[in-house]
Structure 1
Amino acid sequence: MITTVTGHFDEYSARAEATNEGFIDADFTFVAKTASVNTRNKDRDEHLKSPDFFHAEHYPEIRFTSTSFDGETMLGVLTIKGITREIAIDMDFNGIAIDPYGQTKAGFEGNVTVNRKDFNLTWSALTEQGNIVVSDSVRIGIVLQFVKSS
């Protein structure tokens, strides 16, 4: 692999339902629209939307649903291209604060590495020198901020 490529999804939703201020065992859901993938390179983004990768026309969403959260590790199921796998996310709960507009917010940051081939994202190619173009390992960085509903 020559370099790391970063990207994000422009269209997504996230929700947390908690019964305590520590968010222990809260229910978290995250849904991203695959057609909104954005790596700041139009040709690459179109390839990622194609059947070689996300097949966005047939699989319009990536979904994560938590099964538990202990304050440090979030367990749950990740579904990509109709394939569901259990994952463990290293997740930091950054606390709760009231912003200048009076909204109560909770912040989280985490990361997880998944094998893209576990989700049938199997396209691969080599450069003329024999280097891989796409790594099997995909690092997912997560930054979430939730606003308390009334």
Structure 2
Amino acid sequence: MAEQFLEQEAERRLAINLFNHVWTLMDLLERDQTQIDEMIHAVHASRYHWGNVGTVLESARGEWQISRVYAVLGRAEPALYHARRTLQLCLENGIGDFDLAFAYEAMARALKIDARGEAPESAHYLSLAYQAADNIKEAEDRQIILGDLATLAD
């Protein structure tokens, strides 16, 4: 029993470290191919481990992070796939607040890349993201999403 707990705790720490490492790589202004590959592998590994030791909330956040990685790389199809998974997990499990707003943001961002910035669907999801942001309880969280949404404005 104690051994299983230690294994789960180790996997949880691994998921957290991978998630944070992906942010470090995403924050780079320029990445070489090795860093790009590392970022892709790390984001999928983080989501995998959260699927083993986390809740549906961590799974939704993991899907969101995968979508963002692919959006940063300009890869519309996988960005959209994982944005849809994020939104699906939020809607099916009653996840709202900050996470729902970011699910809509992921959809808007992926669709904008897919249509090279001209998708009416992207504008629709951007509008939904702003509506969801209005319902975020914490002002600091609301400011974070509003800052991200501003990067999608034309």
TM-score (ref. length: structure 1): 0.25
Larger RCO (alpha carbons 8 Å, 6+ apart): 1
Please tell me whether Structure 1 or Structure 2 has the larger radius of gyration of its CA atoms.
1
- Of Structure 1 and Structure 2, the greater helix share is in 2
